[in-house]
Amino acid sequence: QVQLVESGGGLVQPGGSLRLSCGASGSTFRINAMGWFRQAPGKEREFVAAISWTGGSTIYADTVKGRFTISRSNYKNTLYLQMNSLKPEDTAVYYCAATYSNVAPEASHYDHWGQGTQVTVSS
């Protein structure tokens, strides 16, 4: 089984920054790509960013492009999301996910999910 654990969420003012981390453990050898999703109250879970675990290619949602950067440390088995220029609209629970397939923005594409970490952007 694959276990994903997010950390790094918290309260930040608009324009501020946060870095989220997601540690992967267990049977991770088949993972081909990982991504970040978020879910705000009353809304469906939406795609944020994803990265290929081997080649490092990335995709981003238009809403975060230019502000967020996804990266990974293969050595540490850890996924990161650097979030800059945060807006109140970024407030959500952020989830990391892993897929045995290629990078994709569809939540249905992912096989394993973390428990989520709360990000609140408020003045």
Sequence-distant (≥ 6) Cβ neighbours of residue 114 within 8 angstroms: 4, 5, 6, 22, 95, 96, 97
What DSSP designation does 100 have? S
- Residue pLDDT, tens place only, 8-19: 999 999 999 999
- Measure the CA–CA gap between 105 and 122, rounded to whole angstroms: 27
Q: 38 to each of 46, 94, 108, 117, how far by Cα in Å?
A: 5, 4, 14, 9
The 10s digit of each residue's pLDDT in 19-67 is 999 999 999 989 999 999 999 999 999 999 999 998 899 999 999 999 9
Please give the Cα distance from 34 to 104 (Å, whole number): 9
**Burial class of residue 123 (count of CB atoms within 10 Å of its CB; 0-12, 13-18, 19+):** exposed
Q: How far apart are CA 30 and CA 8, in angstroms?
A: 26
**Closest to 113 in 3D by CA, of 33, 2, 30, 21:** 2
Percent of the chain clearing pLDDT 90 (strictly above): 92
Asked if the model's pLDDT at residue 74 lies above 90, the reply is no
Task: Report residue 105 as tokens.
Answer: 């923005």
The chain-wide mean pLDDT, for the chain, equals: 96
Q: How confident is the model at residue 29, as a pLDDT?
A: 87
